[in-house]
Structure 1
Amino acid sequence: MAERQNARLIDVVLDESIGRSTPDVEHEREVAIFDLIEENSFQPVGDEGGGPYKLRLGVRDNKLIFEISRENGDAVVTNILSLTPFRRIVKEYFMICESYYEAIRTASSAQIEAIDMGRRGLHNEGSQTLQDRLAGKIEIDFDTARRLFTLVCVLHWRG
């Protein structure tokens, strides 16, 4: 039981490769990180030392860099994930989010609900893609994949 309890993230840091953005974007990044840390299931595959873990995220050459360390700072593993498979999903997700926020002002509740269902569907698709791409590297549950995909989206958001 204690082993599963420690299969989690306790800290997420964005490295200098991410760059800073507008106050709104920075706030959204902070919220996404808070939500991820608040509730997650995260275990590097094959790590016998156990967590909890710290995650340092970076982006280089269209790749997402996962630097994972222990609570005491000892390095565990670095995983590199291509962002190319997410390009279409993130682009469509942003477009549907814009439609959703626009619809809130003028559309009927049925139209808003339909757009929101599409938004959730794309978010689920991105989350599943992330979970699949991390398979064999990092074990995460679907809810953690959803929170991590939200963070990936916010890293792409320019405000």
Structure 2
Amino acid sequence: MASEETFGPDARLVDVVLDETIGRSTPDVEHERAVAIFDLLEENRFKVVGDGKGGPYKLTLSIVEGRLVFDVTREDGEKVATHILALGPFRRIIKDYYMICDSYYEAIKMSTPGQIETIDMARRGVHNDGSRTLMERLEGKLAMDFDTARRLFTLVCVLHWRG
């Protein structure tokens, strides 16, 4: 895992693009994707491990043969790295995350504040598990702090959401 001193001032994403392999969806899903990208770009610490020049970076995400492809370039378009991430290890976490989110939204309608808080704690726990898994799967390739991993995991989840 990356430590705080790992990141210089340019170790960040300045753009995230979903290429055509991601496909388009309903307006609600497209909105959630845009919000996830906005949140990720708003504040992040991200770098390609071993990149001597450093960022800032642009990230293009695509899906090829069921795998998530991270294409990283510099702001000027110079290619830095491509990393392919198998999505299998995330399927169960994403499924659990959506199930608990559904429970959370149902609880908001008719549960006590204590029950809502309990479900929300569980939701955050599953989200943290997914974020740690993402960091572990990218270790040695792409470095990010935990908050960036959380935002990126949110985006990965939204890529699977059908609305």
The count of residues paired between Structure 1 and Structure 2 equals 158
SS of residue in 1 equivalent to 2:81: strand
1:94-149: CA deviations, max 9, x gaps? 00000100110011111111100000000000000001101000011100000000
Give percent identity, aligned residues only: 66
2:160 maps to 156
1:53-85: CA deviations, max 9, x gaps? 000001122211000000101110100000000
SS of residue in 2 equivalent to 1:127: helix
Unaligned runs of 5+ in 1: none
2:86 maps to 82
SS of residue in 2 equivalent to 1:4: coil
Whole-angstrom CA distance in 2 between matches of 1:51 and 1:139: 12
- Structure-2-length-normalised TM-score: 0.95
2:26 is the counterpart of 1:22:
yes
2:99 maps to 95
What is the letter of the counterpart of residue 130 of structure 1?
Answer: L
SS of residue in 1 equivalent to 2:21: coil
Whole-angstrom CA distance in 2 between matches of 1:106 and 1:129: 33
Whole-angstrom CA distance in 1 between matches of 2:84 and 2:78: 19
Query: Which of these residues, 141, 144, 150, is aligned with residue 146 of structure 1?
Result: 150
Query: Which of these residues, 119, 125, 130, is aligned with residue 126 of structure 1?
Result: 130
Quote the RMSD (CA, aligned, Å): 1.0
Runs in 1 of length 4+ with deviation above 4 angstroms?
A: none
2:57 maps to 53
SS of residue in 2 equivalent to 1:154: helix
- Structure-1-length-normalised TM-score: 0.97
2:47 maps to 43
